[in-house]
Structure 1
Amino acid sequence: MNVAIIKYNAGNIYSVVNALKRLGTDPVLTDDAATLRQADRVIFPGQGEAGGAMKYLRDHALDSVIRNLTQPVLGICVGQQLLCRHSDEGDTDCLGIFDAVVKRFCPTRHEDKVPAMGWNSLRDMKSPLFRGLNDNDFVYFVHSYYVPLCRHTAATTEHIVEYSAAMHRDNFYATQFHPEKSGTVGERIIKNFLEL
């Protein structure tokens, strides 16, 4: 299977590469439009800042390429946020696949920590990404911004507020958590994506 990882100015790329290699896939890291269009699966990972990431995508004409991909696409962490319509981080217009606005966590109690960092459980899973998993399986999160619940929500979790742990619309799938850092549960999610 031909798997492409979108190359842009985001961190955490190589943990995704290594997770795919553990599953017997040798992905290509690329910002080449033709390579992305021809891939069987595309992964849009990232840790970073929304404004800078969108600038890179626009400067390299990757924004229109991503919007028009027809094969299964998986956004991870900032990748999920950039697939939304807008992010409050840097007041950034994003790709608009998901009709949602990314918000910053607002602590309401002393014990509320930002960023949300660590293991948290998944609930209300409604996507083929989660085949074979159970409600309350744990995955790994690290983020200061989140996507509120919306019609594209495919799984929920809670940190300060309940929010979208995963999203799905047509051929676009996304997780706020890092499946590549989520042990056997995350490995199953990546495997399910490759088998869509």
Structure 2
Amino acid sequence: MNIIIIDTGCANLYSLKYAIRRLGYSPIITREIDLILNADKLFLPGVGTPKTAIQQLHLSNLIKVIKNFKKPVMGICLGMQLLCSYSQECPGLKMLNVIDTFVSKLKVDKLSIPHTGWNEIIINNNSKLLRNISNKSRFYFVHSYAIEINKYTIASAYYGTFFSAIVEKNNFFGVQFHPEKSGEYGAQLIKNFLEI
């Protein structure tokens, strides 16, 4: 199986690569279009700001490649947010617009931002991505912005407000948490994605 991690220049590329390798696969980190087009599974990781990530994707001519990809794609953390139309963090920036919704700053009242640490997810819809993952399983989050609950939300989480923890639209999946840092449930989720 050809497993590609898109090189978005972010810090969690190698922790994701090693998490996939522990499952017995050999992923490749790349920006090369030919390799990406031949992928069976595509990971879009991201840390930082949408502007920087979108600029990297533009420089590598990957915007249309990702949007038109027909096999399973998983956006992780910022990578999940990039699947949306726009973000409150960078007004005017056009993102991938795979999912017609927006990203907004977490409304947390007196809680600290960023939301950092373990949090349980609430499963809203059945999905192959959630096989052998029970409701209220805990995953590791680090973020200040999130996607509001929408028709593509298959699991939510709560931190001062409810937000989308996992989204799914056709062959596109997004997780707000870091599965590569989320222990056995994170490993199970990655395994599920690779077996879709």
Q: Secondary structure at the match of 1:18?
A: helix
Alpha-carbon displacement from aligned partner over 1:110-162 (angstroms, at most 9, x marks no partner) = xx110000000011242211111111010000001100001111110011110
Task: Note the C-alpha offset of 1:60.
Answer: 1.7
The alignment-based identity, stated in percent, is 38
**Structure 2 unaligned residues grouped into runs of 5+:** none
1:145 maps onto 2:134 in alignment: no
2:7/2:29 contact within 8 Å kept: yes
1:141/1:178 contact within 8 Å kept: yes
Residue 98 of structure 1 is matched in structure 2 by 99
**Distance in 1 between residues matched to 2:37 and 2:52, nearest whole Å:** 23
1:74/1:172 contact within 8 Å kept: yes
Matching of residues 44-193 of structure 1 within 5 Å: 44-91=44-91, 92-109=93-110, 112-126=111-125, 127-193=127-193
Task: Note the C-alpha offset of 1:35.
Answer: 0.8
**Distance in 2 between residues matched to 1:106 and 1:134, nearest whole Å:** 27
1:85/1:96 contact within 8 Å kept: yes
**Structure 1 unaligned residues grouped into runs of 5+:** none
Alpha-carbon displacement from aligned partner over 1:3-41 (angstroms, at most 9, x marks no partner) = 000012222111100000100111011111111110110
Change (3 A) 1:79 1:102: same
Task: Note the C-alpha offset of 1:107.
Answer: 3.4
What residue identity is the alignment partner of 1:104?
K
**Distance in 2 between residues matched to 1:174 and 1:90, nearest whole Å:** 20
**Distance in 1 between residues matched to 2:166 and 2:119, nearest whole Å:** 13
**Distance in 1 between residues matched to 2:134 and 2:174, nearest whole Å:** 18
Task: Note the C-alpha offset of 1:89.
Answer: 1.3
2:88/2:102 contact within 8 Å kept: yes
Q: Scaled by the length of structure 2, what TM-score is found?
A: 0.96
1:11/1:48 contact within 8 Å kept: no
**Distance in 1 between residues matched to 2:117 and 2:177, nearest whole Å:** 10
1:46/1:77 contact within 8 Å kept: yes
What residue identity is the alignment partner of 1:151?
K
Residue 15 of structure 1 is matched in structure 2 by 15
Alpha-carbon displacement from aligned partner over 1:143-192 (angstroms, at most 9, x marks no partner) = 01100001111110011110100000000011000110000000000000
**Distance in 1 between residues matched to 2:49 and 2:36, nearest whole Å:** 23
2:108/2:159 contact within 8 Å kept: no
Residue 5 of structure 1 is matched in structure 2 by 5
**Distance in 2 between residues matched to 1:85 and 1:44, nearest whole Å:** 16
